[in-house]
Amino acid sequence: MKKVLFVISFLFIFWNVFAYKELIIENRGGLPVRVIKVVLDGQHYVVSSVANDWWDTLENLTKKVWWDTAVNGVFFCPADYTYCNWLTHTISERVYMWNGEDYSRFWPDTSIRAIFGFDKYWEPLLVQNNFWISDIGYWSNINKDRQSDLYFWLGNFPVLLEDWDDVVMWFLNYVDKKMETPWNKSFICSTKDKSTIYLWVVGWLNLWKMPAFIKEQFGCWNAINLDAWASLGMIYSWLVLDRGWRRKIMDAFVVLTRDEYIKLTWITPPMKTEYKPDLTYTLNSEDRKFVDKLDKIIKTIIKQYGSDYKRKIIKLFRDMYSSDKYDLVKKSIFYEILIKTYTVDKL
Protein backbone atom coordinates (compact mmCIF):
# COMPACT_ATOMS: atom_id res chain seq x y z
CA MET A 1 0.00 0.00 0.00
CA LYS A 2 2.83 2.42 0.83
CA LYS A 3 4.32 1.78 -2.60
CA VAL A 4 1.01 2.70 -4.28
CA LEU A 5 0.79 5.98 -2.36
CA PHE A 6 4.43 6.65 -3.13
CA VAL A 7 3.76 6.24 -6.86
CA ILE A 8 0.69 8.48 -6.67
CA SER A 9 2.70 11.16 -4.87
CA PHE A 10 4.88 11.49 -7.95
CA LEU A 11 2.03 11.81 -10.41
CA PHE A 12 0.96 15.56 -10.36
CA ILE A 13 -1.92 18.38 -8.85
CA PHE A 14 -4.36 21.48 -9.26
CA TRP A 15 -5.68 24.70 -10.33
CA ASN A 16 -8.70 24.60 -12.56
CA VAL A 17 -10.15 28.05 -12.08
CA PHE A 18 -13.63 28.98 -13.09
CA ALA A 19 -13.96 32.67 -13.77
CA TYR A 20 -16.31 34.32 -11.29
CA LYS A 21 -16.85 31.09 -9.32
CA GLU A 22 -13.91 29.08 -8.03
CA LEU A 23 -13.46 26.20 -5.63
CA ILE A 24 -10.34 26.50 -3.50
CA ILE A 25 -9.01 23.21 -2.11
CA GLU A 26 -5.65 23.74 -0.48
CA ASN A 27 -3.73 24.34 2.70
CA ARG A 28 -3.83 27.93 3.93
CA GLY A 29 -2.13 29.10 7.07
CA GLY A 30 -1.27 25.47 7.79
CA LEU A 31 -4.92 24.36 7.71
CA PRO A 32 -7.01 22.57 5.07
CA VAL A 33 -9.68 24.71 3.42
CA ARG A 34 -12.46 23.95 0.96
CA VAL A 35 -13.95 27.31 0.10
CA ILE A 36 -16.05 28.65 -2.78
CA LYS A 37 -14.96 32.06 -4.02
CA VAL A 38 -17.62 34.06 -5.86
CA VAL A 39 -16.64 37.28 -7.59
CA LEU A 40 -19.69 39.56 -7.80
CA ASP A 41 -18.98 40.87 -11.28
CA GLY A 42 -22.54 40.63 -12.55
CA GLN A 43 -22.08 37.08 -13.85
CA HIS A 44 -22.70 35.15 -10.61
CA TYR A 45 -24.95 35.80 -7.62
CA VAL A 46 -25.51 34.24 -4.19
CA VAL A 47 -29.08 33.60 -3.04
CA SER A 48 -30.73 31.82 -0.15
CA SER A 49 -32.93 28.78 -0.64
CA VAL A 50 -35.19 27.79 2.24
CA ALA A 51 -37.36 24.80 3.07
CA ASN A 52 -40.38 26.75 4.29
CA ASP A 53 -41.85 25.22 7.48
CA TRP A 54 -40.31 21.75 7.17
CA TRP A 55 -36.90 20.47 6.05
CA ASP A 56 -35.29 19.29 2.85
CA THR A 57 -32.02 18.01 1.40
CA LEU A 58 -29.29 20.30 0.14
CA GLU A 59 -29.79 18.75 -3.29
CA ASN A 60 -33.46 19.75 -3.38
CA LEU A 61 -32.73 23.22 -1.99
CA THR A 62 -30.26 23.68 -4.84
CA LYS A 63 -32.71 22.45 -7.46
CA LYS A 64 -35.38 24.75 -6.04
CA VAL A 65 -33.49 27.73 -7.42
CA TRP A 66 -32.46 25.84 -10.57
CA TRP A 67 -28.72 25.68 -10.25
CA ASP A 68 -25.61 23.64 -9.46
CA THR A 69 -23.52 25.02 -6.57
CA ALA A 70 -24.53 25.33 -2.90
CA VAL A 71 -23.54 24.87 0.73
CA ASN A 72 -25.61 24.18 3.83
CA GLY A 73 -26.99 27.23 5.59
CA VAL A 74 -27.46 28.25 9.22
CA PHE A 75 -28.24 26.54 12.50
CA PHE A 76 -31.72 25.07 12.92
CA CYS A 77 -33.54 22.86 15.42
CA PRO A 78 -33.57 19.23 14.27
CA ALA A 79 -36.15 16.88 15.77
CA ASP A 80 -33.47 15.05 17.76
CA TYR A 81 -32.64 18.23 19.71
CA THR A 82 -35.01 17.76 22.64
CA TYR A 83 -34.91 21.39 23.78
CA CYS A 84 -36.68 22.26 20.50
CA ASN A 85 -39.74 20.37 21.82
CA TRP A 86 -39.53 17.88 18.95
CA LEU A 87 -40.14 20.55 16.31
CA THR A 88 -37.87 20.67 13.30
CA HIS A 89 -37.62 24.29 12.25
CA THR A 90 -35.22 27.15 11.93
CA ILE A 91 -34.47 29.34 14.91
CA SER A 92 -32.84 31.92 12.68
CA GLU A 93 -33.82 34.78 10.46
CA ARG A 94 -33.99 33.70 6.84
CA VAL A 95 -35.46 35.19 3.69
CA TYR A 96 -35.97 33.93 0.18
CA MET A 97 -37.13 36.43 -2.43
CA TRP A 98 -37.49 39.41 -0.08
CA ASN A 99 -40.45 38.20 2.00
CA GLY A 100 -39.28 38.16 5.62
CA GLU A 101 -42.74 37.64 7.05
CA ASP A 102 -43.06 34.13 5.61
CA TYR A 103 -39.79 32.73 6.88
CA SER A 104 -38.56 34.83 9.82
CA ARG A 105 -40.17 33.82 13.08
CA PHE A 106 -39.31 37.01 14.95
CA TRP A 107 -39.29 39.54 12.11
CA PRO A 108 -37.87 42.16 12.30
CA ASP A 109 -35.95 41.19 15.46
CA THR A 110 -32.72 39.24 14.93
CA SER A 111 -31.98 38.80 18.65
CA ILE A 112 -28.28 37.88 19.11
CA ARG A 113 -28.07 36.72 15.51
CA ALA A 114 -26.97 38.80 12.58
CA ILE A 115 -28.19 38.52 9.01
CA PHE A 116 -25.81 37.95 6.14
CA GLY A 117 -27.53 38.65 2.88
CA PHE A 118 -27.74 40.58 -0.35
CA ASP A 119 -29.62 43.78 -1.03
CA LYS A 120 -31.71 44.87 -3.99
CA TYR A 121 -28.57 46.14 -5.67
CA TRP A 122 -26.88 42.71 -5.47
CA GLU A 123 -24.34 43.72 -2.86
CA PRO A 124 -23.56 41.81 0.39
CA LEU A 125 -24.93 43.34 3.58
CA LEU A 126 -24.62 42.49 7.29
CA VAL A 127 -27.61 43.49 9.43
CA GLN A 128 -28.41 43.12 13.13
CA ASN A 129 -31.61 44.43 14.67
CA ASN A 130 -32.56 44.14 18.37
CA PHE A 131 -36.11 45.31 17.78
CA TRP A 132 -37.68 44.16 21.02
CA ILE A 133 -35.74 41.19 22.38
CA SER A 134 -32.92 42.15 24.77
CA ASP A 135 -30.62 39.11 24.89
CA ILE A 136 -27.47 39.46 26.91
CA GLY A 137 -24.60 39.49 24.47
CA TYR A 138 -24.23 40.79 20.94
CA TRP A 139 -26.31 43.89 20.29
CA SER A 140 -24.78 46.13 17.65
CA ASN A 141 -27.76 47.03 15.43
CA ILE A 142 -25.39 47.30 12.48
CA ASN A 143 -27.25 48.50 9.37
CA LYS A 144 -30.52 48.25 11.29
CA ASP A 145 -32.16 50.82 9.03
CA ARG A 146 -31.29 48.74 5.95
CA GLN A 147 -33.02 45.52 6.92
CA SER A 148 -35.84 46.11 4.46
CA ASP A 149 -33.30 46.49 1.64
CA LEU A 150 -32.35 42.81 1.81
CA TYR A 151 -33.60 40.45 -0.88
CA PHE A 152 -32.03 37.10 0.07
CA TRP A 153 -30.56 36.34 3.48
CA LEU A 154 -29.85 33.91 6.30
CA GLY A 155 -29.20 34.85 9.92
CA ASN A 156 -27.03 33.03 12.42
CA PHE A 157 -24.61 33.34 15.32
CA PRO A 158 -21.89 33.80 16.24
CA VAL A 159 -21.04 36.79 14.12
CA LEU A 160 -17.37 36.30 13.32
CA LEU A 161 -16.46 39.70 11.91
CA GLU A 162 -18.25 43.02 11.86
CA ASP A 163 -16.49 45.64 9.74
CA TRP A 164 -13.16 43.82 10.28
CA ASP A 165 -13.60 43.61 14.08
CA ASP A 166 -13.56 40.21 15.80
CA VAL A 167 -16.84 40.10 17.77
CA VAL A 168 -16.96 36.41 18.75
CA MET A 169 -16.27 37.28 22.40
CA TRP A 170 -19.79 38.72 22.68
CA PHE A 171 -21.23 35.23 22.15
CA LEU A 172 -19.43 33.58 25.03
CA ASN A 173 -22.69 32.59 26.78
CA TYR A 174 -24.03 30.95 23.62
CA VAL A 175 -21.03 28.90 22.46
CA ASP A 176 -21.20 25.13 23.03
CA LYS A 177 -18.42 22.57 23.23
CA LYS A 178 -18.75 21.63 19.56
CA MET A 179 -17.95 25.18 18.53
CA GLU A 180 -14.92 25.30 20.81
CA THR A 181 -13.57 21.97 19.56
CA PRO A 182 -11.01 22.12 16.72
CA TRP A 183 -12.84 20.62 13.75
CA ASN A 184 -14.48 21.75 10.52
CA LYS A 185 -15.81 25.31 10.90
CA SER A 186 -18.07 26.91 8.28
CA PHE A 187 -18.55 30.56 7.38
CA ILE A 188 -19.73 33.04 4.78
CA CYS A 189 -18.01 36.39 4.39
CA SER A 190 -17.62 39.40 2.13
CA THR A 191 -14.56 41.51 1.43
CA LYS A 192 -14.33 45.21 2.30
CA ASP A 193 -14.99 46.33 -1.27
CA LYS A 194 -18.02 43.98 -1.44
CA SER A 195 -16.68 42.46 -4.63
CA THR A 196 -16.07 38.92 -3.40
CA ILE A 197 -17.84 36.29 -1.30
CA TYR A 198 -16.12 33.34 0.38
CA LEU A 199 -18.12 30.51 1.85
CA TRP A 200 -17.73 27.16 3.47
CA VAL A 201 -15.26 25.25 5.57
CA VAL A 202 -11.89 25.45 7.35
CA GLY A 203 -10.58 22.29 8.97
CA TRP A 204 -9.15 21.74 12.45
CA LEU A 205 -9.89 25.17 13.84
CA ASN A 206 -11.90 26.24 16.87
CA LEU A 207 -14.41 29.07 16.83
CA TRP A 208 -12.26 31.59 18.70
CA LYS A 209 -9.52 31.44 16.06
CA MET A 210 -11.85 31.65 13.07
CA PRO A 211 -12.09 35.47 12.75
CA ALA A 212 -8.33 36.04 12.61
CA PHE A 213 -7.87 33.15 10.19
CA ILE A 214 -10.46 34.24 7.62
CA LYS A 215 -9.27 37.85 7.83
CA GLU A 216 -5.70 36.83 7.09
CA GLN A 217 -6.38 34.15 4.49
CA PHE A 218 -9.39 35.56 2.63
CA GLY A 219 -9.54 39.25 3.47
CA CYS A 220 -12.98 38.85 5.09
CA TRP A 221 -14.60 42.06 6.34
CA ASN A 222 -18.06 40.90 7.49
CA ALA A 223 -18.69 37.25 8.34
CA ILE A 224 -21.07 34.93 10.17
CA ASN A 225 -20.81 31.32 11.24
CA LEU A 226 -22.71 28.69 9.23
CA ASP A 227 -23.93 25.34 10.53
CA ALA A 228 -21.41 22.50 10.66
CA TRP A 229 -20.97 18.99 12.03
CA ALA A 230 -23.81 16.67 11.00
CA SER A 231 -25.43 19.24 8.70
CA LEU A 232 -22.40 19.90 6.47
CA GLY A 233 -23.15 19.70 2.78
CA MET A 234 -21.46 21.00 -0.37
CA ILE A 235 -22.40 20.86 -4.05
CA TYR A 236 -20.11 22.32 -6.70
CA SER A 237 -20.89 22.35 -10.41
CA TRP A 238 -23.45 19.51 -10.15
CA LEU A 239 -21.18 17.32 -7.98
CA VAL A 240 -22.00 16.52 -4.34
CA LEU A 241 -18.65 16.93 -2.57
CA ASP A 242 -19.87 16.58 1.01
CA ARG A 243 -22.96 15.15 2.65
CA GLY A 244 -23.42 15.02 6.42
CA TRP A 245 -25.39 12.27 8.07
CA ARG A 246 -28.19 14.76 8.76
CA ARG A 247 -29.49 14.94 5.21
CA LYS A 248 -32.50 17.13 5.97
CA ILE A 249 -31.72 20.80 6.60
CA MET A 250 -33.65 24.07 6.54
CA ASP A 251 -31.76 26.35 4.20
CA ALA A 252 -28.75 26.89 1.96
CA PHE A 253 -26.70 29.49 0.14
CA VAL A 254 -26.74 28.83 -3.61
CA VAL A 255 -24.54 30.35 -6.32
CA LEU A 256 -26.41 31.27 -9.52
CA THR A 257 -25.31 32.42 -12.94
CA ARG A 258 -26.68 35.68 -14.30
CA ASP A 259 -29.22 33.89 -16.53
CA GLU A 260 -30.50 31.75 -13.67
CA TYR A 261 -30.74 34.78 -11.38
CA ILE A 262 -32.91 36.58 -13.94
CA LYS A 263 -35.03 33.44 -14.37
CA LEU A 264 -35.54 33.16 -10.60
CA THR A 265 -36.18 36.80 -9.72
CA TRP A 266 -37.47 38.33 -12.97
CA ILE A 267 -34.94 41.08 -12.35
CA THR A 268 -32.24 42.00 -14.87
CA PRO A 269 -29.19 43.31 -12.98
CA PRO A 270 -26.88 45.87 -14.58
CA MET A 271 -23.82 44.59 -16.39
CA LYS A 272 -20.44 44.87 -14.68
CA THR A 273 -16.84 44.44 -15.73
CA GLU A 274 -16.26 40.74 -16.27
CA TYR A 275 -13.72 39.14 -13.94
CA LYS A 276 -11.10 36.85 -15.43
CA PRO A 277 -8.40 35.12 -13.41
CA ASP A 278 -4.78 35.63 -14.41
CA LEU A 279 -3.83 31.99 -14.74
CA THR A 280 -5.95 29.17 -16.15
CA TYR A 281 -5.31 25.84 -17.82
CA THR A 282 -7.76 23.58 -19.62
CA LEU A 283 -6.96 19.89 -19.54
CA ASN A 284 -6.39 18.33 -22.93
CA SER A 285 -7.38 14.82 -24.02
CA GLU A 286 -4.14 13.26 -22.79
CA ASP A 287 -4.53 14.97 -19.43
CA ARG A 288 -8.06 13.58 -19.17
CA LYS A 289 -6.90 10.06 -19.92
CA PHE A 290 -4.26 10.35 -17.22
CA VAL A 291 -6.81 11.67 -14.72
CA ASP A 292 -9.20 8.80 -15.50
CA LYS A 293 -6.47 6.19 -15.00
CA LEU A 294 -5.37 7.72 -11.72
CA ASP A 295 -8.97 7.98 -10.57
CA LYS A 296 -9.46 4.24 -11.15
CA ILE A 297 -6.36 3.48 -9.07
CA ILE A 298 -7.61 5.68 -6.24
CA LYS A 299 -11.11 4.17 -6.27
CA THR A 300 -9.56 0.68 -6.12
CA ILE A 301 -7.46 1.70 -3.09
CA ILE A 302 -10.45 3.24 -1.30
CA LYS A 303 -12.66 0.23 -2.04
CA GLN A 304 -10.02 -2.14 -0.68
CA TYR A 305 -8.84 -0.15 2.34
CA GLY A 306 -11.85 1.99 3.27
CA SER A 307 -12.70 5.64 3.91
CA ASP A 308 -9.63 6.22 6.07
CA TYR A 309 -7.49 5.92 2.96
CA LYS A 310 -9.77 8.34 1.15
CA ARG A 311 -8.85 10.98 3.74
CA LYS A 312 -5.16 10.11 3.40
CA ILE A 313 -5.28 10.40 -0.38
CA ILE A 314 -7.09 13.73 -0.25
CA LYS A 315 -4.51 15.03 2.21
CA LEU A 316 -1.69 13.82 -0.03
CA PHE A 317 -3.01 15.59 -3.12
CA ARG A 318 -3.96 18.72 -1.23
CA ASP A 319 -0.47 18.91 0.30
CA MET A 320 1.09 18.47 -3.12
CA TYR A 321 -1.01 21.25 -4.58
CA SER A 322 -0.05 23.56 -1.75
CA SER A 323 3.61 22.94 -2.49
CA ASP A 324 5.58 25.19 -4.85
CA LYS A 325 7.16 22.20 -6.58
CA TYR A 326 4.54 21.77 -9.30
CA ASP A 327 3.60 23.84 -12.34
CA LEU A 328 0.12 24.93 -13.44
CA VAL A 329 -0.44 21.92 -15.68
CA LYS A 330 0.35 19.42 -12.95
CA LYS A 331 -1.74 21.32 -10.43
CA SER A 332 -4.70 21.33 -12.82
CA ILE A 333 -4.48 17.55 -13.09
CA PHE A 334 -4.38 17.09 -9.35
CA TYR A 335 -7.26 19.48 -8.88
CA GLU A 336 -9.38 17.18 -11.04
CA ILE A 337 -8.29 14.24 -8.92
CA LEU A 338 -9.24 16.05 -5.73
CA ILE A 339 -12.69 16.83 -7.12
CA LYS A 340 -13.22 13.22 -8.21
CA THR A 341 -12.04 11.86 -4.85
CA TYR A 342 -14.29 14.20 -2.90
CA THR A 343 -17.34 13.44 -5.05
CA VAL A 344 -19.93 11.26 -3.33
CA ASP A 345 -22.81 11.80 -5.76
CA LYS A 346 -24.15 13.94 -8.60
CA LEU A 347 -26.96 16.45 -8.43
pLDDT (tens digit, 9 = 90+) per residue, 264-307?
999 999 888 888 877 778 899 999 999 999 999 999 999 999 88
DSSP 3-state of 96: coil
Which range is least confidently modeled, 30-34, 118-122, 185-189? 118-122
Count of domains for the chain: 2
Residue 289 placed within a domain: yes
Residue 312 placed within a domain: yes
Phi, psi of 334 (to 5 degrees): -70, -30
DSSP structural state of residue 138: -
Q: Are residues 210 and 293 in the same domain?
A: no
Strands 251-257 and 69-72: antiparallel
- Structural domain including 165 reads 21-265
Q: Are residues 303 and 331 in the same domain?
A: yes
HSE, CB side, 13 Å, CA atoms: give it for residue 84: 13
Q: Are residues 39 and 182 in the same domain?
A: yes
HSE, CB side, 13 Å, CA atoms: give it for residue 68: 12
Instruction: Among 217, 237, 265, give the residue marking a domain's end.
Output: 265
pTM over 0.85: yes
Q: Are residues 289 and 326 in the same domain?
A: yes
Q: Quick check: 330 and 12 in contact, CB under 8 A?
A: yes
To 10 degrees, what angle do helices 328-342 and 307-322 make?
160
- Region 178-193: mean pLDDT is 93
Q: Are residues 113 and 212 in the same domain?
A: yes
Q: Are residues 214 and 67 in the same domain?
A: yes
- As to burial, measured by CB atoms within 10 angstroms (0-12 exposed, 13-18 middle, 19+ buried), residue 323 is exposed
Q: Are residues 217 and 323 in the same domain?
A: no
- Start-to-end CA span in the chain (Å): 33
